[in-house]
């Protein structure tokens, strides 16, 4: 992975940076030399993480286009420029598709997809004016392996992957745009799994690498994509899931049955 100080001189904005993968990303970028601004709808969390790294904090809901543009502009001004943007803010609900209300659908899609668009749209002119840089979006394994009960989240994250590739085409070679899609990661959003030994064991059994990932491991990949080591990568979706998306339930079940009969 990238070197310890390979982001020296970089100025980064991380949305949803007050907790989880976002907070780990803020710390990781700062440890590698970047100045970092933390954007989050929960200002206390944003301030706490920003104070850890000597950065800046803004309260913003990325579903609000005007507020997002204002916050990213203010962050760039405070840091003296903008070179890297991590569009990480997101959340999901879980219920059958037909039970989602219009309000719930718009809420989930508004943060995960619209929020990513608002973040990119606000940042791109600043990156272009500064001579270029990097955008890293955060989607999910759900974008390619949809999870039952999370229809709006699945759809929004799949669209984020496509939006990322589209932006990579439009703004190359000046701006590199890549995506990271985490699988099961230990954060506050997955405590129902990570605090229950039974659920944890099931998650580990379903992951080829045999464990649940950490926020730091996702942050390391994001930092790599912002670094010179990833200079020839753009338009990519890097899935960080410990191999969880590899098994084919139908084929694996058949193969096991055949092996048991003829072994």
Instruction: Give the residue from 126, 155, 125 showing the smallest Cα distance to 140.
Output: 155
Backbone angles phi, psi at 14, to 5 degrees: -125, 115
Q: Is 153 a catalytic residue?
A: yes
Contact 119, 62 (CB under 8 A): yes
State how far the Cα of 28 lies from the Cα of 37, in Å rounded to an integer.
13
The two three-digit tokens of residue 2, written as one number: 């990238």
Taking the C-alpha atoms of 96, 97, 103 and 107 in order, what is their torsion angle to the nearest 10 degrees? 90
Is-contact 50 69, C-beta < 8 A?
Answer: no
* Catalytic pick among 100, 153, 232, 262: 153
User: In terms of residues, how long is the chain?
Assistant: 263
Inter-residue contact 239 to 158 (CB < 8 Å):
no
Type and span of the H or E element at 157 = helix 151-171
CA distance 35 to 236: 25
β-bridge partners, 84: 12, 134
Structure tokens at 224: 């790599």
Q: Which residues are catalytic?
A: 153
């Amino acid at each position: 992975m990238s070197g310890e100080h390979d982001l020296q001189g970089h100025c980064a904005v991380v949305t949803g940076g007050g907790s989880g993968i976002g907070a780990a990303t803020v710390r990781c970028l700062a440890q590698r030399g970047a100045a970092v601004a933390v954007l989050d709808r929960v200002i206390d969390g944003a301030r706490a993480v920003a104070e850890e790294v000597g950065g800046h904090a803004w309260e913003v809901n990325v579903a609000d286009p005007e507020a997002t543009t204002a916050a990213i502009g203010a962050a760039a001004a405070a840091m003296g420029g903008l070179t890297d943007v991590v569009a990480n803010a997101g959340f999901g609900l879980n219920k059958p598709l037909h039970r989602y209300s219009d309000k719930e659908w718009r809420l989930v899609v508004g943060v995960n997809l619209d929020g990513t668009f608002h973040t990119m749209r606000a940042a791109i002119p600043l990156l272009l004016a500064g001579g270029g840089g990097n955008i890293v979006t955060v989607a999910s394994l759900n974008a390619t392996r949809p999870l039952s009960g999370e229809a709006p989240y699945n759809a929004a994250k799949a669209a984020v992957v496509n939006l990322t590739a589209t932006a990579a085409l439009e703004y190359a070679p000046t701006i590199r745009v890549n995506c990271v899609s985490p699988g099961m990661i230990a954060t506050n959003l997955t405590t129902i799994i990570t605090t229950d030994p039974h659920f944890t064991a099931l998650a580990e059994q379903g992951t080829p690498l045999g464990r649940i990932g950490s926020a730091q491991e996702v942050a390391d990949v994001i930092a790599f994509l912002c670094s010179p080591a990833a200079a020839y990568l753009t338009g990519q979706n890097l899935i960080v899931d410990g191999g969880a998306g590899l098994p084919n339930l139908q084929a694996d079940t058949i193969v096991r049955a055949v092996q048991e009969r003829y072994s």
